[in-house]
Structure 1
Amino acid sequence: MEQNFIKMNQGINNWKRYTSSFFLFMFSMFLGSIIYFLALIIFAEKDGNDQTYFDFKEMVGVNVRPEFDFIFSNLTYVIWILGMALFIKLIHKRKLKTLITPNEKINWKRVFWGFGLFFCLLTVTTIVDALFNPQDYSLNNIQVQDFLFLFLFVLILTPIQTTAEEVFFRGYLMQWFGRKVSHPLVLSIIVGSIFGALHFSNPEMNYSAFFVGSDYVLSGILWCYITARTNSAELTIGAHAANNMFIGWFLTMDDSVFGKLPSLFVIDNINPKTTLLWTVISLSVFTYYSIKNFDNKKTINDELEQDIHSSFK
């Protein structure tokens, strides 16, 4: 029988080990955040512009070009994923790969399939929305070299950022909570809601706490459900990267976690209800085809039967 990704039995996975690794994972992210702020401070001091400085009260770089802030902020995720790779090996005696797939090797075809389908869905829904609301979209007034600079670093850094989040939420937390919660939907609601709630501090929430928050939670739950049903985080690693790379390359707006990047288009008059509608459509289609093509129901059912039988012993 194929090994269950959620009920991971590789390495040592008791609750004491999970508690220890959790705090070490958080330490890795904290260390990455410190490096981010140090990079901002040094850059603000050394860039030769008197208007650029680091505001220690607000903890932000003032007048720092958003593409440089983007690069520095992603250092957090580089340190975080390196920390997770180190501590999953030291504490749980297994590889980082086990937080992505239970198999011997990562199936890159799945990753790129998830990336390709979700990128296409985002492209189609954005074009349709632009056709209905052309007044909300305009070409960004940017230099070609600035966009190419952004394009390169989004290509390099964004997959690291999104993979770090997927490894932690769809891998680590689902495996930890999955030790006690067997039903894939219940597990997905728990971990997916945590994922969504931790995005509530994003500036996009200023548009509408309810609708934008619902967007985050829905994304978290469905990506967790896809992970449980397909027995790996490969599809969601691809989809999450597609989502953030698409936004980074093509769409910039006020009150965005990405900042005013030199993306190709600017969006005005954000309607959070419409945005949530397009998210529901994109995620529904992605979930349907992911489960249709990669469902691993047999492994899930076998695990559920084992849990039921063990509970009567």
Structure 2
Amino acid sequence: MKHLSRAFDGENQWWKFVVVILVALGVGQIVGAIPLIVVMGISIAKNGGQVATPENPMDLSAYGINPSLGLALMVIPFIVTLVLAIVLIKSFHQRTSKDVVNGGQAFRWNRFWLGVVVWGAIMLILFFAQLAISPEELEFRFDPAAFIPLVFVAVLLIPIQSGTEEFIFRGYLAQGVAGWTKRRWAVILIPSVLFALLHAANPEVKEHGFWMMMPSYFVFGVAFAITAVLDDGIELAIGIHAVNNTLGALLVTSKESAIQVPALFFQQETDPVKESLVLVLSSVVLLVVFKLILDWDFSVIWKKIEPESV
């Protein structure tokens, strides 16, 4: 298993990870946000400076910005972050993007699409079950003129956002933790905690509370991390994350959603406890399905990462 053992290369100093992550995330988010700020400024100026502050700061339509355009602008910081991360990792660690993804192999598209198909199927089953059991919870709001452009933007760009997060947390940071601790369980837990904290500013957290939402982000992060550890690379996790965010944007939105777009359905009220329980159960199902398909051995999680396994 080469993905985590790739960290034993003499370039795993903690300060390098601090510099790379702070610069990639900090500069990437600031520079990447410039197009959004410019468009927002132009839109506000066109409205004579009269803009109602939205309850959800991610609702760019309040500033007169087309939701699909707004979604595209929100992905730009992730593109800049990914490019910066790849360049900085090469400079500081002498590792290529392939090294970070799976230890040096070509990108395994079959794994990516497996993640998309399996988690996409689970999401659709849960969605249609909710629609059948509690149709009153969902309000159908199909607008072809708004939805069709959204499909193109979501399918093309949201996977970049998801892939960037996986590259940094389940790829790069996981290798750092592997080199420092030599423990796979630490590789699963530590990046998952940081992944959850990264989402602490999301509108859902403001709506439902920090301690209500953090377990959900943490559980999802753990599911991603387990797939990366057992599959010796992050392609599965990228596929799961990408289809989760893409289908989530296209199917259902709510007033506190982090992605405010004209989805097919609008959910007036959300139950974070029920959604957390569903997420835990569906994550377990996901891992069981992958075990059956890929013949995973979960005991690997408790085994020490050996440098000589490179």
Fold similarity call, TM over 0.5: yes
Count how many residue pairs are aligned between Structure 1 and Structure 2.
Answer: 300
Seen in structure 2, the aligned counterparts of structure 1 residues 296 and 22 have a Cα distance that, compared at 3 Å, is farther
Matched residue, 2:6 = 8
CA distance in structure 1 between the aligned counterparts of 2:98 and 2:9, rounded to whole angstroms: 12
State the partner residue of 2:255. 254
CA contact (8 A) 2:196 2:218 kept: yes
Listed as ranges, the gaps of 5+ residues in structure 2 are none
Residues 13 and 288 of structure 1: CA distance in aligned 2, closer, same or farther (over 3 Å)? farther
Amino acid in structure 2 at the alignment position of 1:179: G
Classify the secondary structure of the residue corresponding to 1:106. Answer: coil
Query: For structure 1, which runs of at least 5 residues remain unmatched after alignment?
Result: 308-313
For 2:97, the equivalent position in structure 1 comes to 96
Post-superposition CA distance 1:278-307 (Å, at most 9, x none): 211221111112233335659958972858
Q: Distance in 1 between matches of 2:298 and 2:268?
A: 47
Is 1:282 aligned with 2:282?
yes
| Residue in structure 2 matched with residue 200 of structure 1 by the alignment | 200
Q: 2-side partners of 1:49 and 1:110: how far apart?
A: 47
Secondary structure, aligned partner of 1:6: helix
3-state SS of paired residue (2:102): coil
Q: Distance in 2 between matches of 1:52 and 1:97?
A: 47
Separation of aligned partners in 1, 2:48 and 2:258: 22
Q: Normalising to structure 1: TM-score of the pair?
A: 0.86
Q: 3-state SS of the aligned residue for 2:139?
A: strand
Deviation at 1:209, TM superposition (A): 3.4
Aligned counterparts of 1:249 and 1:70: Cα–Cα separation in 2: 12
Letter of the structure 2 residue corresponding to residue 42 of structure 1: V
Identity of aligned residues (%): 19
* Structure 1 letter corresponding to 2:30: I
Task: Write the letter of the residue equivalent to 2:138.
Answer: Y
1:229–1:295: 8 Å Cα contact kept in structure 2?
no
Q: What secondary structure does 1:178 align onto? A: helix
How far apart are the structure 2 equivalents of 1:8 and 1:72?
34
User: Structure 1 residues 280 and 298 mapped into 2: Cα distance closer, same or farther (>3 Å)?
Assistant: closer
Instruction: Find the aligned partners of 2:136 and 2:36 in 1 and give their Cα distance.
Output: 36
Greater length-normalized contact order (CA 8 Å, ≥ 6 residues apart):
2
TM-score w.r.t. length of structure 2: 0.86
Kindly report which structure 2 residues correspond to 1:163-178, keeping only aligned pairs within 5 A, or say none: 163-178=163-178
Give the corresponding residue for 1:50. 47
CA distance in 2, matches of 1:305, 1:203: 38
